[in-house]
Amino acid sequence: MNPLTFVGLGFLVGFLVGLTGVGGGALMTPSLIFLGVEPLTAVGTDLLYATVTRVFGIFFHRRKGKIRYDIVLRLLVGSIPAIISGGMILREIDRNALNDHLTLLLGTILIVSAVLSLLRGEFHVPVRPRWVYVYLLGFIVGLTVQFTSVGAGVIVSFTLMNVARLDPKDVVGVTIVYGLALSAFSFLNYAGIGGVDYGLAGTLILGTVPGVYLGTHVNRIADRGRLKTAINVIILLIGLFTLLGV
């Protein structure tokens, strides 16, 4: 595949993330699989890609507001057992079988993530907020991201706003920092089994940097609400097509 194709993909996904703040992992992993990248390698490469790009996200967000590190820490504590168990599973399951299961799981998570994002802020779950739920959320999301590289931002933000009743302004910082730590740790598991294409990740990042830069400038004049809805509908359709193709 021509490297310019992946530079263009990185630019497109980066532009959409900079424009709307959603869709990074949910668009990148299935796109890589569609372009012929092995599912296992697609997930591992996307985790490295996401780790690097989130570093920039934290840099820009820290200049605008505070970050609730107490919540981030609890999410990470809940995620540690998921990361460890996920790493053990990755090393034990046959690579071909794992690729088949990853594709099925990816399609399911894409659909769930898109639906949650479309419903975000529309209702409040009638559950009394408790810290134990944050640890449980960390475990569930940690396991999900470990195998699909998708879901950290959408699932965490939806739950924190609709269950924990957290201020949406605080949710952004939590999801960025937690997402960075989670993708970094999860990436190490894939690196350990040779499931990362470093050259491909570098090519994607090369396109992402100008894409994010342009997207953040365009979002000042664009209707971000409608764009987010459109992207989540696209993610939902990608998830459906992914499941139909399994």
Instruction: Indicate the pTM of the whole model.
Output: 0.84
% helix, strand, coil for the chain, step of 5 = 80, 0, 20
The pLDDT, as a whole number, for residue 119 is 79
Tokens 């809940």 sit at which residue? 78
Q: In a structure prediction context, what are the per-residue pLDDT tens digits for the chain, which is 246 residues long?
A: 788 999 999 999 888 877 776 667 788 999 999 899 999 999 999 999 988 877 776 766 555 556 788 999 999 999 999 999 999 998 888 888 888 888 888 889 889 888 887 876 556 666 677 888 899 999 999 998 888 888 777 788 878 877 777 777 677 778 878 888 999 999 999 999 999 999 999 999 999 888 888 887 776 777 767 777 887 888 888 889 888 865
Q: Which residues make Cβ contacts (< 8 Å) with residue 144, sequence separation at least 6?
A: 109, 150, 151, 152, 155
The pLDDT, as a whole number, for residue 118 is 82
Tokens 């996920």 sit at which residue? 86
Q: Taking a C-beta distance cutoff of 8 angstroms, is the pair 14, 21 a contact?
A: no
